[in-house]
Structure 1
Amino acid sequence: MNCYIEIQSRKMVKPSAPTPDNLRRLKLSLFDQMDIGAYVPIVFNYLPNSTSSYDHDDKLEKSLSETLTKFYPFAGRFRKGIDPFSIDCNDEGIEYVRTKVNADDLAQYLRGQAHNDIESSLIDLLPVMHRLPSSPLFGVQVNVFNNGGVTIGIQILHMVSDAFTLVKFVNEWAHTTLTGTMPLDNPGFGQLPWLFPARALPFPLPDFNTTTAPNYKNVTKRFLFDALAIENLRNTIKANDMMMKQPSRVVVVMSLIWKVLTHISSAKNNGNSRDSSLVFVVNLRGKLSCTAPSLEHVVGNCVIPATANKEGDEARRKDDELNDFVKLVRNTIRDTCEAIGKAESVDDISSLAFNNLTKCIEKILHGDEMDFYSCSSWCGFPWYEADFGWGKPFWVSSVSFGHHGVTNLMDTKDGDGIQVTICLKENDMIEFERDPHILSSTSKLAFHSLG
């Protein structure tokens, strides 16, 4: 389908009220500091309906400005050259772009692009963000289709927000647009930096903003695990003393992907398996017993990395079952949660986070000798509750970072299935799609199935 996207306006949207002087400087927390220095992209897609359509850009912008008064760090800038561990909450604003998409129908546009590289199409629906000291930390692009369908593309710097914080912001913005009133609660950005201050790290973090092209082509595709496929996978997990109950949906899907990737690696190495690691994050909210006040609803980054490790074998094991990978992932989550629960002070939590990050970096630095994969789960968050007045979104999706071995999991709209976005080297993607476990458990994402 031939179409073009016309930028109709581009501006900085500032908080509707100035940030108080006592909040003008926000220190980073240790968890902020540990997160990748990249922008996190996500798109919310809305179909036109018979009762409402997109016709209120001023209202959308006004409510965004009002919501920013509560999420004021998003409108600030990093204090590069002054203090690398703080944000100047100076109300400079966020990038706000409005476009007109020359396509008659949003769903038809997405279905048509699904046969090609869907990532390139979604990237066009996102604001262009550059990681510079003076750059905005947050960007929004509102894309309006000819028939009134709308896609809201968002990019936010990971160092100021995790998934919990981002979905809270979007839902509050939507609520304010729909009702004209803001929720009364105060997000409270200062709690985590006060309890877990940033510290100088003895090693550089991976740069996900590098402009150097790899010497191979990366491909991103989506796969849908519906509820039945996930249940069938869970039923294949053999009961044993280590596993008294079935693993969660997320653990099963994450483990299966890791299993398939290790087998692809083994096949490329003449049947010899390399050491392999899978890194993911564990949410600290609701798990800490050593802090007051409670951090159950705190905003910012409140997660720590955890790494599951599998030693390579001289030859690929024939009995290398999904159980093995599920146990490794579950044991890593269990051990991490137990360590969090046993922590007697915030210093214990800081040490745990720092040690886990160190182990993760060590694995990355040995990338030529072993396989390293990462998987983030955004499951369980209310992404599909964001109603700006056009109804709830018919499809919400992350957009790939474009780096090999990076996977994202999100709930499908019904909450029972899982949508997987995975980026791999082109040849690895071919093998991934051919794997019998992937063929039998997934479908290539069909947009009509998401409504």
Structure 2
Amino acid sequence: MADIEIKSRKMLKPSASTSDNLRILKLSLFDQLAPRSYVPILFNYLPSSTSSYDKLEKSLAETLTKFYPFAGRFGKDDPFSIDCNDEGVEYVQTKVNADDLPEFLRRQANDIESSLLHLLPVMVHMPSSPLLGVQVNVFNNGEIAIGIKVSHIIADAFTIATFVNEWAHTCLITGTISTQDTTNNNFFPSFGQLSSLFPARVLQLPSPPNTSTTDPEIVTRRFVFDALTIENLRKTIKDDSTTDDDMIKQPSRVVVVMSLIWKVLTHISSAKNGNSRNSSLGFAISFRGKLSCVPSLEHALGNYVTIAIANLEASDHSRKDDQLNDFVKLVGNTIRDTCVAIGKASSVDDISSLTVNNWKNGVEKLFQGDTMNTYITTSWCKLPWYEADFGWGKPFWVTRVGFNAIEGVFLMDTKDGNGIQVTVCLKEKKMTEFEKHLDILSSTPIVG
């Protein structure tokens, strides 16, 4: 790309070798069910006189000694393991011929998502590929965009956020105190706990249907629900005096926004098909802090989530006066029931069965795409994305990038922590209708 010049590319290894007793990391059941793809995320920083790009590389090498699986490769003889062999991670440094990110995006074609993808390392998810890639992009005015790709098989959102903040902490103090104290000695990543309790296993699992190459191109748009917009949405939700559940009476920001988007998508489908269809909304729920049958795993790294699915029968939304609280109730009840089931689990086998059954249910819904609508949402809210300070301040914008292989909706906190940035991926015609319905949005930004 003409506007981006690659200054260096290397395979960056941990600053210290991984000990033999940590050489093989077994994958957990949750890792086994994770998508075979990279999770792409972009951190954007304003220019600063304290910016030191050399410290990024050094501190990353030091951080990899704690996150040693990230520098390994998939096991050659065991598909359910990682060989923590210190082969390294993809590390790229570039010079961007633009003053800042907005100018860079304006110079490109109308497809902003493709432009953002150029700020991420180019990686193909194969058994021999690195599990982590980092691209440090420096703009003419000193602005920095750090693009990261992590294999989903070894990391969920909690794990990625933990890694990035540990790397930032290490970078922040590198060179300010003695070398032996340059990492956070109070932080000890916990790999292997989940696989010891929930080992991967041979499962008869259905494969999700392939996306047809003749389908219209999926496009991505970003929207922002600020705190006022969300509060106004809450006011439209009728008080349900038949329940004492606060999740229904006082729904969270995430539940409100997810429910609104589901409502809009079902109405678009009804208009297109001329009749209502059964509809499902799938989303992930973390196990962290919810299990009583196993030791504390709040800080365990790796994938540690299950799928929850809210279902809406066609007969229940055939009326023209569907209210937002109808969808809020369905989402809230699904979250409550799933959390209750998790809390009542008396053994790891109960949790494993719950996870596999929910996953199978989700895939079966996808197979019914011709007769019903299934929507996928993911929330990264309440994670410390905006705390990652490498020494030149906290990021002004953090976003998921390249979420356009399938139709789906992705939620993250805005920088102030009170609003929600929504990344929506839909087929082009459906996106046109979606944008018409969302006239209640406070803004539709390019960045921020």
| TM band (smaller chain) | over 0.9
Shift of 1:296: 1.0
Cα distance, 1:72 vs structure 2: 0.7
Please name the residue that 1:261 is paired with. Answer: 265
Q: Cα distance, 1:370 vs. partner?
A: 1.2
1:108 Cα offset (Å):
3.3
Inter-CA distance 434–311: structure 2 relative to 1 (3 Å threshold)? same
- Counterpart in 2 of 1:23? 22
Aligned mates of 1:350, 1:97 — CA distance in 2: 39
Q: Check if 1:224 corresponds to 2:239.
A: no
What's the secondary structure of 1:170's corresponding residue?
helix
Q: How many residues align structurally?
A: 436
Matched, 1:237 2:237: yes
Which has the larger displacement, 407-416 or 318-327? 318-327
Residue in structure 2 matching 1:391, options 393, 404, 407: 393
| Distance in 2 separating the partners of 1:62 and 1:115 | 35
* CA drift at 1:213: 3.5
**1:442–1:432 CA distance, 2 compared to 1 (3 A):** farther
Q: 1:204 to 1:18 in 2, by over 3 A?
A: farther
Q: Does 1:37 align with 2:39?
A: no
Corresponding position: 1:196 with 2:179: no
1:207 Cα deviation (Å)? 7.9
The aligned counterpart of 1:282 is: 285
Matches within 5 A, 1:357-436: 357-435=359-437
The 1:205/1:442 distance shift into structure 2, 3 A limit, reads farther
**What amino acid is the match of 1:31?**
F
Partner of residue 329, structure 1: 331
Tell me what 1:70 maps to.
66
Between the aligned partners of 1:321 and 1:165, the Cα distance in structure 2 is 37
CA contact (8 A) 1:67 1:173 kept: yes
SS in 1 for 2:114: helix
Q: What is the CA–CA distance in structure 2 between the aligned matches of 1:4 and 1:100, rounded to whole Å?
A: 8
1:47–1:107 CA contact under 8 A, matched in 2: no
Deviations 1:328-349 (A, max 9, x none): 1111100110001001111111
- Paired letter, 2:238: K
Match of 2:297 in 1: 295
Change in CA separation of 1:409 and 1:113 when aligned onto 2, cut-off 3 Å: farther
Q: Secondary structure at the match of 1:340?
A: helix
Match of 1:143 among 126, 130, 137: 137
**Residues 233-286 of structure 1: CA distance to partner in whole angstroms, max 9, x if unpaired?**
11111111235431000000011111111111111101x111111111101110
The residue that corresponds to 1:52 in the other structure is 50
Provide, for residues 204-246 of structure 1, a one-character-per-residue CA deviation record: whole Å limited to 9, x for no partner: 44388x8x73421211000000000000011111111235431
Corresponding letter in the other structure for 1:197: P
Query: Who is 2:173 aligned against?
Result: 179
Q: Which residue of 1 aligns with 2:3?
A: 4
Q: Give the CA deviation at 1:315.
A: 7.7
Gaps of 5+ in 1: none
**Residues of 2 paired with 1:344 and 1:379: CA distance?**
29
**How far apart are residue 3 of structure 1 and its match?**
5.6
User: Cα–Cα, structure 1 residues 373 and 114, in superposed 2: closer, same or farther, change >3 Å?
Assistant: farther
1:220, 1:423 within 8 Å by CA — same for their partners in 2?
A: yes
Unaligned runs of 5+ in 2: 175-181
C-alpha offsets along residues 16-39 of structure 1, whole Å, 9 cap, x if unaligned? 111111111111101111111111
TM-score normalised to structure 1 length: 0.93
How far residue 182 of structure 1 moved from its aligned partner, in angstroms, is 1.2
Residues 44 and 153, structure 1, Cα contact 8 Å, conserved in 2? yes
Supply the distance in 1 between the matched residues of 2:209 and 2:215 (Cα, whole angstroms). 17
* CA-CA distance at 1:155 after TM superposition: 0.5
Give how far 1:196 is off: 0.5
Which residue of the partner structure matches residue 87 of structure 2? 92
What is the Cα deviation at residue 40 of structure 1?
A: 0.6
- Cα distance in 2 for partners of 1:302, 1:355 equals 15
Give the aligned residue type for 2:302.
Answer: G
Q: Distance in 1 between matches of 2:214 and 2:70?
A: 31
Task: Report the Cα distance in structure 1 between the residues aligned to 2:403 and 2:253, rounded to whole angstroms.
Answer: 24
- Name the residue aligned to 2:75: 79
The DSSP-based 3-state class of the residue aligned with 1:443 is coil
Q: Distance in 1 between matches of 2:101 and 2:110?
A: 16
* Match in the other structure for 1:439: 439
User: For the structure 1 residues 316 and 333, does the alpha-carbon distance in structure 2 shift closer, same or farther, using more than 3 Å as the test?
Assistant: same
Secondary structure in structure 2 of the residue aligned to 1:178:
helix
TM-score by length of 2: 0.94
The code of the aligned residue for 1:379 comes to: C
Question: How far, CA to CA, are the matches of 1:74 and 1:446 in structure 2?
Answer: 31
- Is the deviation greater in 198-207 or in 5-14? 198-207
Deviation at 1:313, TM superposition (A): 3.1
Distance change in 2, residues 1:288/1:102 (3 Å): same
Secondary structure of the residue aligned to 2:134 is strand
**3-state DSSP class of the match of 2:103?**
helix
CA distance in 2, matches of 1:391, 1:262: 42
1:441 to partner: Cα distance: 2.8
RMSD: 1.8
CA distance in 2, matches of 1:363, 1:144: 44
Separation in 2, partners of 1:305, 1:256:
20
Contact kept? 1:237, 1:246, Cα under 8 Å: no
For residues 309 and 109 of structure 2, the distance between their equivalents in structure 1, rounded to whole angstroms, comes to: 34
Matches of 2:220 and 2:107 in 1, distance apart?
A: 13
Q: 1:358 deviation in Å? A: 1.1
* 1:69 Cα deviation after fit: 0.7
Q: Sequence identity, in percent?
A: 65
2 CA distance for matches of 1:174 and 1:403?
Answer: 30
